[in-house]
Chain A
Amino acid sequence: MMTLLGLSAAYVTILFAGFGITLLMFAKAGRLNLVECSCLSWLLGIGAVSLLVWLCGTFCSGLLLQAVVAIACLALGISGWTIKRKLGSKFTLPLPRNLIEWLLTSLLLVEITVFFYVSFKHTLGWDGLLNWEIKARYAFLNGGVIPGSYYSNPGRAFSHPEYPLAIPFTELWLYLWMAEPHQFWVKTIFPLFYAAGALLLALFVTRLSTKRWPGLIVATLLAFVPFLSASPGGITVGYVDFPMSVFYLAALGYLLCWYREDTVSNISMFAGCLALLPWIKSEGLILWVLLVFFGLCLSLPKHRTRQVTLALLPGLFIVVGWRLYLRLMHTFPHSDFAHPSFSLLHQNFGRLADIGRVFSEDVSTPVYWSIFWLLAAVAIGYALAARKLEKVILAMAVLLPIVLYPLAYVFSTWPSYTAHMTSSLPRLLLHVVPAGWLAIGLALTQPKGQVR
């Protein structure tokens, strides 16, 4: 009973902090979509709490750390609410308007419930346990702070001490409130990412296409990608790849919304989600660089380069801060990839054929993807055929990570780089899946004249 009360308190503080930040960013919007605010409360809440626990953990620990972070969460929530009341913004709840919308919404809610149910049936996966949860547990056993010896011990290099702490410290926050490192209840955070991702996907497609049905269709179909729901790297086993894909979708979605409607709330939300990408997983840096590039491309015709430049600053601080911290902690260097260099690229150039073969085998494996990548390819074709900048950017946002991720294996240090690819590439491709569904959703509604 006390465990569940603690769990609830942890969630309330996370959502309260996230809600406060969301209201601060959306305060001027006038009308606030309650579903959107709830999704963002979760995403920004886990970002805020994990960063606060990390930063405050450098000068306090134990109950004091928990109290300081909880007070900061409450302060964020209260500030957001105060600003919202001052500016007179109103909440709206978009309800389904016809039978089809009611059916699709109901199906989506059933899927979210099923993911909660299924996550209780599985244990944490290997990486979920040995790369991510391990950090939460060690920090919990040390009063909420990961001991310096963890970073520098080469024996525990297998757990990748250099990986960022967004998910481990969200798990830690739950542990601190439950007063025990409870591996059963901690898994509840992952279906919440699914809920936030699916709802945001529906929202972005609706907003960018001005039609609700395609958004609801792709949001309900998202769960049917086998790798998400039926594989060792999916939603229910505690891996961070799906959460990362949700942040990528959110950042991309708000960037495209900003291009359509130049508002402070859109660019602020883009900045917030963008900043958290490298804080979720190291590979987030690649997606961060791509989104910054897309942001600059979209800002040029609007003469809003300054806004995008400002938007990349929070992420830059997090990247630099984390790198600096790892250096101060004398972190044992990870060894999965060598430092990229032209000489190494030249030396390993011959790998490209094998990389291409493994990649094509991977994306065409129905057990992982069904025919999702074929759907995405058709949607990319639609987007490119539309010959509009935002559609081309959307196509590139799906295409470029898929091209760049396999190329990284040119620098793999594994004795068998193909084995390295087989074990990790599907999880990397997962980062793009919700963005791929966004492209599919928008292709569904491409105006008749643009269907070339």
Chain B
Amino acid sequence: MSNLLDDQTPVGCNVSRKLTHMQLRLYIHIGLWCALFAVFLAFAIPIVGPALVENQIGPAEVNRSIDAYILALTGIEHGSEKLPDVFSRLPKAGPLIIVVRKDDSQSEFLGMMIGYVSWPREIKLIKLATPTAEKELAGINPDSISGLVFCLVDPPAWLGKPIRLGSSIFLVPLPKTG
């Protein structure tokens, strides 16, 4: 009997030690994930919460997105209709030249918006690295284009009187446009 007890005691101890060890691991596991999730939510909720409540629904209009951007950038309301209407009066042949300022995200974005709404007209984007457009525009043949749009760029005086389409956008129709 005593031999039997002697044999079983270390085994029983081992099993109990293993169980305690596993329980400890389980508690660490649960504690770790609870803490991680708590920190995750503590950082996330102050960022996500306000973002969800900002702005209001609508308006449920067809050109909701493009009109909102054009309005913000140029002050033109319903720009998705007004701008194509202006461009439709330009000669059909030749690309529309869109002049933007390089590394100016607002100017570049406005140029792309003009490219978007001027479809199906062919366009050409010119990115200016210098404050004036003299050098880049000098090589353009006026007969080969339908017009020039300047986005947050002042058109050079020698091109003639520009038409202001919005707060930061000018159209220079070519003489043949009338």
Give residues in A with beta carbon < 8 Å to B. Answer: 114, 117-118, 120-124, 126, 128-130, 133-134, 137-138, 141, 147, 149, 153-156, 158-159, 180-185, 221, 223-226, 229-231, 238, 366-367, 370-372, 374-375, 378, 443-444, 446, 448-449, 451
Contact = CB atoms under 8 A, between A and B. Distances in A.
A121 B65 CA distance: 11
Contacts of B123: 153, 155-156
A370 B40 CA distance: 6
Interface in B77-127: 95, 98, 109, 112-113, 115-116, 119-120, 122-125
B65 A375 contact: no
B22 A129 contact: no
Interface of B: 22, 25-26, 28-29, 32-33, 36-37, 39-41, 43-45, 47-48, 50-52, 54-66, 68-69, 95, 98, 109, 112-113, 115-116, 119-120, 122-125
Contact of A448 (B26, B45, B51, B125): B26
A158 B112 contact: yes
Nearest to A419: B103
5 closest A-B pairs by beta carbon, nearest first, are A230-B51, A155-B123, A370-B43, A123-B65, A370-B44
5 contacts: A123-B68, A183-B63, A221-B37, A221-B41, A224-B41
A124 B39 CA distance: 31
Contact of B40 (A147, A185, A224): A224
B65 A224 contact: no
Contact of A378 (B36, B64, B65): B36
A449 B18 CA distance: 10
Q: Is the interface of B mostly helix, strand, loop or mixed?
A: helix
A130 B51 contact: no
A155 B111 CA distance: 10
A147 B121 CA distance: 12
B103 to A, nearest CB: 8
A371 B25 contact: no
Given A183-B62, A366-B43, A158 B52 contact: no
Contacts of A129: 65-66, 69, 116
Contacts of A149: 120, 122
Contacts of B61: 183-184
A118 B39 contact: no
A448 B62 contact: no
Question: Which has the most chain A C-beta neighbours within 10 Å: B40, B95, B98?
Answer: B40
A80 B160 CA distance: 66
A126 B40 CA distance: 29
A131 B173 CA distance: 28
B70 to A, nearest CB: 11
A172 B43 CA distance: 38
A427 B123 CA distance: 29
Contact of A371 (B28, B43, B65, B122): B43
B22 A448 contact: yes
Given A130-B116, A147-B120, A184-B60, 15 more contacts: A121-B56, A137-B119, A155-B115, A182-B62, A184-B59, A185-B60, A224-B41, A226-B44, A226-B48, A229-B51, A230-B51, A371-B43, A443-B33, A448-B26, A451-B26
A145 to B, nearest CB: 13
A439 to B, nearest CB: 13
Contact of A230 (B39, B47, B64, B98): B47
A265 to B, nearest CB: 32
Contacts of B29: 446, 448, 451
Nearest to A180: B62
A162 to B, nearest CB: 17
A449 B26 CA distance: 9
Question: Which has the most chain A C-beta neighbours within 10 Å: B44, B48, B54, B69?
Answer: B44
A224 B48 contact: yes
B21 to A, nearest CB: 10
Question: Which has the most chain A C-beta neighbours within 10 Å: B33, B41, B125?
Answer: B33
A375 B41 CA distance: 12
Nearest to A223: B48
A224 B41 CA distance: 7
Contacts of B22: 448-449
B40 A221 contact: yes
Contacts of A114: 52
B65 A156 contact: no
Question: Which has the most chain B C-beta neighbours within 10 Å: A154, A223, A370, A372?
Answer: A370
A122 B116 contact: no
Nearest to B32: A378
Nearest to A119: B57
B130 to A, nearest CB: 16
A426 B69 CA distance: 23
A12 to B, nearest CB: 21
B153 to A, nearest CB: 17
B43 A181 contact: no
A134 B36 contact: no
Contacts of B62: 180-184
Nearest to B37: A221
